[in-house]
Amino acid sequence: MKGGSLIWRGLLLLLWVGLLAGLLGRDYLVEELRSLEIAALERGRETSFSGVYFQGERIGFVRSRLGAAADNRLLLEQDAYLLLNILGENHPVRMQLNAHLSMTQELLDFQFTLLSPFASTRAIGRVAEREILLELETPRGPRRERIRLREAPRIATPHRAYLLGHQPEVGSRVRVNYFDPVSLAGNERILEYRGRDRVLIANRIHNLHHFHETVSGMRINIWLDETGRVIKEESPAGFVFLAEPEFRATDIPGAGPEILTTVAVPLSGRLPDDLTRRPALTYHLLLDEEAPPDLLTTLDLTGGPQHLEENRLTIQRQQLPPPPAIACLPAQNGTITEALAATPHVQSDDPHLAALAREIAGGATDDLERLRRLADWVYENIDKRPVLGIPDALSVMADRVGDCNEHAVLLAALARSQGLPTRIAAGLLFQEGIFLYHAWNEVCLDGRWLGIDATINQFPTGLTHIRLITGETKEMARLGAILGRLSLAVMEE
Question: Over the stretch 228-257, which tens digit does the pLDDT of each residue have?
Answer: 888 999 877 678 899 999 999 999 987 788
Looking at residues 108-114, what average pLDDT do you find?
Answer: 91
Indicate whether 385 and 475 sit together in one domain.
yes
Indicate whether 308 and 210 sit together in one domain.
no
Q: How confident is the model at residue 157 (pLDDT cuts 50, 70, 90)?
A: low
CA dihedral 457, 463, 469, 471 (to 10 degrees): 30
Tell me which range, 94-103, 177-186, 386-395, 421-430, is most confidently predicted by mean pLDDT: 421-430
Indicate whether 138 and 177 sit together in one domain.
yes
* Burial label, 68 (beta-carbon count in 10 A; 0-12, 13-18, 19+): exposed
Which of 225, 249, 273 marks a domain boundary? 249
Task: Determine which helix (DSSP H) or strand (DSSP E) holds 232, and give its type and residue range.
Answer: strand 230-235
Which of 223, 249, 275 marks a domain boundary? 249
**Predicted pLDDT at 102:** 83
Judge whether 287 and 298 are in contact, CB under 8 Å.
no
Q: Has residue 47 been placed in a domain?
A: yes
Q: List pLDDT tens digits, range 434-447.
A: 888 889 999 999 99
Which of 184, 217, 249 marks a domain boundary? 249
* Neighbour tally for 227: CB within 10 Å: 13
Residues 308, 314, 316, 317, CA torsion sign: positive
Q: How confident is the model at residue 55 (pLDDT cuts 50, 70, 90)?
A: confident
Indicate whether 283 and 175 sit together in one domain.
no
Indicate whether 437 and 291 sit together in one domain.
yes
Q: What is the span of the domain harbouring residue 102?
A: 9-249
- One-letter amino acid identity for 180? D
Q: Which long-range contacts (CB under 8 A, 24 or more apart) does 450-454 make?
A: 450/304, 450/318, 450/320, 450/321, 451/304, 451/305, 451/318, 451/425, 452/371, 452/375, 452/411, 453/429, 454/375, 454/378, 454/379, 454/382, 454/407, 454/408, 454/410, 454/411
Indicate whether 77 and 55 sit together in one domain.
yes
Indicate whether 212 and 112 sit together in one domain.
yes
Looking at residues 339-356, what average pLDDT do you find?
Answer: 94
Q: How confident is the model at residue 30 (pLDDT cuts 50, 70, 90)?
A: very low
Indicate whether 111 and 214 sit together in one domain.
yes
The distance in angstroms from the start CA to the end CA of the chain is: 32
Indicate whether 295 and 374 sit together in one domain.
yes
Indicate whether 351 and 469 sit together in one domain.
yes
Per the model's pLDDT, the better-predicted residue between 210 and 174 turns out to be 210
Indicate whether 174 and 321 sit together in one domain.
no
Looking at residues 141-149, what average pLDDT do you find?
Answer: 84
Q: Has residue 258 been placed in a domain?
A: no
Q: How confident is the model at residue 372 (pLDDT cuts 50, 70, 90)?
A: very high
Structural domains of the chain, count:
2
- One-letter amino acid identity for 121? T
Q: Which residues contact 279 (CB under 8 A, 6 or more apart)?
A: 316, 317
* Neighbour tally for 70: CB within 10 Å: 7
44-60 burial, b for 16+ CB within 10 Å, e for fewer? beeebbbbbbbeeebbb
Indicate whether 239 and 291 sit together in one domain.
no
**Predicted pLDDT at 223:** 94
Q: Has residue 380 been placed in a domain?
A: yes
Per the model's pLDDT, the better-predicted residue between 100 and 14 turns out to be 100
Q: Has residue 39 been placed in a domain?
A: yes
Phi, psi of 229, rounded to the nearest 5 degrees: -75, 135
* Neighbour tally for 194: CB within 10 Å: 17
Does residue 3 carry a pLDDT above 50?
no
Radius of gyration for the alpha carbons in the chain, expressed in angstroms and rounded: 23
Q: Has residue 221 been placed in a domain?
A: yes
Tell me which range, 154-168, 187-201, 475-489, is most confidently predicted by mean pLDDT: 187-201
Judge whether 436 and 446 are in contact, CB under 8 Å.
no
Which residues are paired to 487 by β-bridges? 286
Q: Has residue 217 been placed in a domain?
A: yes
Distance CA 477, CA 58 (A): 23
Average pLDDT, the chain: 84
Judge whether 420 and 346 are in contact, CB under 8 Å.
no
Q: List pLDDT tens digits, range 62-81.
A: 998 888 888 888 888 988 89
**Predicted pLDDT at 199:** 93
Distance CA 145, CA 404 (A): 25
Q: Has residue 243 been placed in a domain?
A: yes
Q: Where are the alpha helices (DSSP H) in 145-253?
A: 246-249
Looking at residues 199-222, what average pLDDT do you find?
Answer: 86
Q: Which residues contact 296 (CB under 8 A, 6 or more apart)?
A: 285, 287, 308, 311
Q: List pLDDT tens digits, range 263-317.
A: 788 898 889 988 888 999 999 999 988 777 888 888 999 998 999 998 999 999 9
Does residue 26 carry a pLDDT above 80?
no
Q: How confident is the model at residue 106 (pLDDT cuts 50, 70, 90)?
A: confident
Report the predicted TM-score, pTM, of the whole model to 2 decimal places: 0.84
Distance CA 56, CA 78 (A): 23
Nearest to 7 by CA among 452, 385, 268: 385
Judge whether 208 and 196 are in contact, CB under 8 Å.
yes
CA 340 remoteness from chain centre: 21
**Predicted pLDDT at 25:** 47
**Predicted pLDDT at 12:** 56
Does residue 366 carry a pLDDT above 50?
yes
Nearest to 466 by CA among 316, 294, 287, 297: 316
Order of strands across the sheet that contains 465-470: 448-452, 434-445, 422-431, 465-470
CATH number of the domain encompassing residue 278: 3.10.620.30
Does residue 461 carry a pLDDT above 60?
yes
Q: Has residue 257 been placed in a domain?
A: no
Phi, psi of 227, rounded to the nearest 5 degrees: -85, -5
**Predicted pLDDT at 156:** 58
